[in-house]
């Protein structure tokens, strides 16, 4: 008789915090500081905006070579959306990742209309953002790390990878949902249906990378959860 197979608890230094509890609580005694950084909107400059559709979506090299960042702050001004919380809810509404009672169809339409009128691509969900990851990976290299572990969503499969290879390769980054250093002191992770990622490490390291890489977002409080935009208690 085959015994029941029980999946082991994930190693917290290598995976994204789950929803349903505060992020800092999940990483307690693992990471001192967590910064939520937004995935930017994408403004094509030398390729056609009409390519930003599922069947023709540009690859990483095409985006890096032909597009620029539009920050969430800039998008608020362009769209007239009131704040980051509403913008996050609208983005989640557009990908059907919220229960009906939490959706905001009006904000979702404002996002769609602004993207169409200004020819801007929406942020990606569940994938590391192409336009800022190069600088972030270079920032990690500057801290003395030449190698980093690239893991799948639950880090059940992982590969030690040369950081320069991730920077230069067109496809390698898409295979990574979690990037963590060999000493387990730094993690970059993305949530599968969110338009942001988490930078986790010691406070001085997080501060340095946020400043040097010009990351847009916010520091987690003791109450911040993955679905932070649904709560006022962050």
pLDDT at 89: 98
Q: What is the pLDDT of residues 10-30, one digit of tens each?
A: 899 999 999 999 999 999 999
The DSSP letter of residue 121 is B
Under 8 Å between Cβ of 188 and 199: yes
Cβ atoms of 162 and 81 closer than 8 Å: no
Rounded-to-integer distance, Cα 207 and Cα 6, Å: 38
* Helix-helix angle 84-94:105-118, to 10 degrees: 90
CB of 227 closer than 8 Å to CB of 195: no
CA distance 234 to 226: 11
Confidence of residue 102 (pLDDT cuts 50, 70, 90): very high
Closest CA to 38 of 84, 95, 92: 84
Q: Determine the 3-state secondary structure of 42 from DSSP.
A: strand
Question: Pick the residue with more confidence: 170 or 8?
Answer: 170
Q: Nearest CA to 137 among 182, 168, 183?
A: 168
Q: What is the mean pLDDT of residues 139-153?
A: 96
Look over the chain and give the mean of its residue pLDDT values, rounded to a whole number.
95
CA atoms of 154 and 14, how far apart (whole Å): 8
CA distance 115 to 53: 12
Measure the N-to-C terminal CA separation of the chain; round to a whole number of Å. 49
Q: How far apart are CA 44 and CA 40, in angstroms?
A: 13
What is the value of pTM for the model shown?
A: 0.95
In a 3-state reduction of DSSP, which class is residue 70?
A: strand
pLDDT above 70 (res 227)? yes
């Amino acid at each position: 008789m085959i015994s029941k197979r029980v999946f082991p608890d994930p190693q917290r230094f290598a995976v994204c915090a789950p929803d349903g509890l505060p992020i800092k609580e999940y990483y307690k005694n693992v990471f001192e500081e967590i910064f939520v950084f937004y995935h930017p909107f994408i403004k094509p400059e030398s390729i056609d905006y009409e390519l930003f559709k599922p069947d023709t979506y540009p690859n990483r090299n095409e985006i890096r070579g032909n597009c620029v960042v539009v920050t969430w702050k800039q998008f608020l001004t362009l769209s007239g959306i009131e704040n980051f919380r509403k913008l996050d809810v609208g983005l989640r509404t557009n990908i059907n990742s919220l229960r009906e009672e939490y959706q905001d169809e009006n904000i979702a339409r404002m996002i769609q209309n602004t993207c169409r009128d200004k020819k801007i691509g929406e942020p990606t969900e569940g994938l590391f953002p192409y336009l800022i990851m190069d600088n972030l990976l270079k920032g990690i290299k500057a801290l003395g790390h030449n190698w980093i572990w690239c893991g799948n969503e639950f880090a059940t499969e992982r590969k030690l990878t040369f950081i320069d290879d991730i920077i230069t390769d067109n496809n390698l980054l898409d295979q990574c949902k979690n990037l963590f250093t060999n000493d387990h002191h730094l993690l970059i992770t993305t949530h599968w249906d969110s338009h942001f990622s988490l930078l986790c490490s010691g406070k001085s390291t997080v501060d340095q990378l946020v400043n040097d890489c010009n990351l847009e977002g916010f520091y987690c409080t003791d109450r911040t959860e993955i679905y932070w935009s649904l709560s006022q208690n962050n």
